[in-house]
Amino acid sequence: MAKYNPVTDAIIKELQTIIGEKYVLTDADKMEKYSHDEVTDPKYVKMPEVVLLPSSAQEIAQVIKLANREHIPIVPRGAGTGLASGAVPFKGGIVLSLERMDKILEIDTENMFMTVEPGATTENVQQAAREKGFLYAGDPCSGDSSFIGGNVATNAGGNKAIKYGTTRQQVNGVELVTAEGDIVELGGKTKKDASGYNLTQLVVGSEGTLGVVTKAILKLVPLPKGVIDLLAIFPDLPSAIGIVSKLMAAGITPTSVEFMDNAAIKSCEKFLNEKLPHSDNGFYIIIQVEGDNEDLLDDQAVIIDEMCTENGALSVLVADPAKIWKARKVFAEADRALSLIFSMEDLVVPMDKIPSAIERINALGQKYGVAIHCAGHAADGNIHANLLKEQLSDEKWNELLPALQQELYTMVYEMGGKLSGEHGIGYKRVNLLEQFSSPIELKMMRAIKKALDPNLIMNPGKVFNVE
């Protein structure tokens, strides 16, 4: 196992020379928020030795070269909205917060790209694109506060992934400070590129283990002229989930198809203190379609209504988008209000396996006596299953959770699924990835890590263990 050196007073003075004394944090109160992400379990909290707030790739390059020389770990960090403890310094060392690098550098309307720094929030990027008549299609539920850099690091998915893809499909190029402190531009604004390995796509989803993204070139698409949000309410799980594959096979290309089970609906209703339709017994499918032809949109809405009704829907409503999407997006926050400690599982299975997956997840909850609320991106098979600790003792929770996860992910991989659809592996799922992934796949990933980060200083202990 790699051994790392502590951050000494002499090193802090050198860091102050590089970054500026004001932007080198050593006070425990100021560093506390950098000791965790949205995972609230105390075992996933670790205080940094120092937090840096750089303003440029050049400053980051100098810091990384110093860290290589002194063999000190570096943890790149965005907004801290992650759910896998991927930006927590479990090996100590330097947390490199990108919050000051928040500029939207260019909106290229002719080529339909925008270039942004990693600390720009997803919401600000979306708004800037809209003001120019374009859509930035990345749309994670944490978009109002998450940083683009964090989206890139985890290959964030979100509500529009079924039509536009995950963050990986939105990124055409990056400026990267490598693990050895070099600055390189990967990709660019061309639509095609067969010039060797696609290193841009390797960096996307690497969770800060291969370098630090300091700019991202993002794809834009024309802003659709019309959008319709429908809420289909079903009386049970099979009829709700069963409509998804039928919709996808009907020649309709929805922007979003989201699912909320009844427990999730009730949790969000309580958190918002706002009555939601059929919250007593309903299961939600939220469908968004968009386009430039209003008549075609209306026709698609009628077809969706008819198909949902034929599949047993209690009601199909033209939804108030602000209200219904707010309810969907507070899912994690609402469950946190019910149970400060919970485990959000981010599993993904082939679309046709969703009904049986959720049924078996609910059966596991009953077997272990653990409340499980499910919501997610139904059309791409991504299920967020929140396992709530609630009144269980710490001892009982720590005993039940690994056993439940063992059964859960055995089932997921038997179905041809994966551990994570969009939240990443981080620190929280390292052991699970090593257990369920192919040894050859892990060997390949370790080889890449060692080649690009020979001193193993970039976000160590995340995604997989190198030794």
pLDDT digits (tens, 9 = 90+) for 410-428: 999 999 999 999 999 999 9
Amino acid at 115: T
* Domain 9-99 annotated CATH 3.30.43.10: yes
What is the pLDDT at residue 120? 98
Same fold, 224-324 and 339-425: yes
Q: Quickly name the fold that domain 104-222 has.
A: 3.30.465
The confidence band for 231, taking pLDDT boundaries of 50, 70 and 90, is very high
Is residue 15 scored above 80 in pLDDT?
A: yes
Phi and psi torsions of 49, nearest 5°: -80, -35
What is the pLDDT at residue 437? 95
What is the pLDDT at residue 1? 59
Q: What is the mean pLDDT of the chain?
A: 96
Is residue 173 scored above 70 in pLDDT?
A: yes
Is residue 329 scored above 90 in pLDDT?
A: yes
CATH of the domain spanning 224-324: 3.30.70.3450
What is the distance between the alpha carbons of residues 322 and 297, in angstroms, rounded to a whole number? Answer: 19
- CB-CB neighbours of 392 under 10 Å: 19
| CA nearest neighbour of 31 among 100, 85, 77 | 77
Q: Quickly name the fold that domain 339-425 has.
A: Alpha-Beta Plaits (3.30.70)
Element (H, E) at 440: helix 439-452
Is residue 398 scored above 70 in pLDDT?
A: yes
What is the pLDDT at residue 352? 84
Per residue in 291-303, pLDDT (tens digit) is: 899 899 999 999 9
Report domain extents, the chain. 9-99, 104-222, 224-324, 339-425
Q: Which of 49-53, 238-242, 322-326 has the highest mean pLDDT?
A: 49-53
Determine what percent of the chain is predicted with pLDDT higher than 70. 100
What is the pLDDT at residue 90? 97
